[in-house]
Amino acid sequence: MKNAENTKGRIMLFASRFVVYTILIFLSVLCLFSFYMMIINASRSNAELQGGFTPWFSTHLWDNLQNAWNDASINIPRGMLNSFLIAAACAVLTTYFSALTAYGVHVYDFKLKKFAFYFIMAVMMIPPQVSAVGFIQLCYQFKLTNNYIPLIVPSIAAPVVFFYMKQYLESVLPMEIVEAARIDGSNEFSTFNRIVLPIMKPAIAVQMIFAFVSSWNNYFIPALLLDKADLKTVPIMIAQLRSADYSKFDMGKVYMFIFLAILPVLVVYIILSKSIIRGATAGAVKG
């Protein structure tokens, strides 16, 4: 009787695992299919792309790379450098100051602590597009167009990142560590930078990749503030290629440029992937 029950339990366990793995494999293939098609299309000529869908690689990958890299209307290396500088600066500022704010709200007790937390949460509910018009007008008044300052400095205030960091601190930071550091004579910034930040490395890695990707793909605000060709970012240049004269429009070149634009994001993700997995799971169980 027990053997029959054990066998039935094993069959049920195998069936449930089979269903879960099947769903995961299907979702993985679905997510990777778009990348596969992007690479396929980057290897095809404009005439082949006009001919319709095909799942096989073509022989024009190098030609498309040369055409995109040497395009006279855009400067791809410069655009990728511009986007990388902005995205890297935004990722660093967003994660550091959000972690610092979360540390202050989590560790200190003050009269307006709950109000400060709920105020930041209320700001998180406001769509960025609502304040975009006023922000653009302010940039024009202070002559901050064709400047990276309005694209980088506002990233310091990131309510979503703050909320994630605070929840993470509540899970992994015992107050005894902070109290011990204070007893040893460590000042608050030293405690945060030397003790708390290393504990938060997984969470920082998660938010850095999200902030980097969000800034790298940002088109709306940069398109309104950047007019000079040497300052334009990758999304603006891709839009320029797509809006080119139809007689000179080269879809193979566009797909190649999109492929080049995604490469830095993939590299950053691969470098931080282990920390991202730890950060996504570490806060699940309260320490």
The reported pLDDT for the residue numbered 282 is 53
Residues 6+ apart with CB under 8 A from 243: none
- For residues 140 and 254, membership in a common domain is answered with yes
pLDDT at res. 278: 61
| Domain total of the chain | 2
Domain around 199? 65-282
Query: Is 203 in the same domain as 144?
Result: yes
**Boundary residue ending a domain (17, 38, 61):** 61
Q: Do 11 and 152 share a domain, yes or no?
A: no
The number of angstroms, rounded, from the C-alpha of 176 to the middle of its chain's C-alpha atoms is: 33
Query: Which stretches of the chain drop beneath a pLDDT of 50?
Result: 283-287
Structure tokens that stand for 182 in this block: 């204070």
Q: Which residue has the tokens 């193979």?
A: 252
pLDDT of residue 284: 44
**Domain's final residue, options 13, 28, 61:** 61
The confidence score (pLDDT) of residue 87 equals 92
Q: What per-residue confidence (pLDDT) applies to 286?
A: 42
Q: Let me know whether 119 and 258 are in one domain.
A: yes
Is residue 236 domain-resident? yes
CA–CA separation, 60 and 67 (whole Å): 10
Q: What pLDDT, on the 0 to 100 scale, is given for residue 280? A: 54
CA distance 110 to 228: 47
49 shares its domain with 75: no
- 260 touches 81 (CB < 8 A): no
Residues 137, 274, single domain; the answer is yes
Q: Specify the pLDDT at position 3.
A: 63
- Residue 101 inside a domain? The answer is yes
CA triplet 72, 54, 80: central angle to 5 degrees? 30
Label residues 249-271 b or e (16+ Cβ within 10 Å = b): ebbbbbbbbbbbbbebbeebeee
- Residue 51, classified by CB atoms within 10 Å of its CB into exposed (0-12), middle (13-18) or buried (19+), is exposed
72 with 110, same domain: the answer is yes
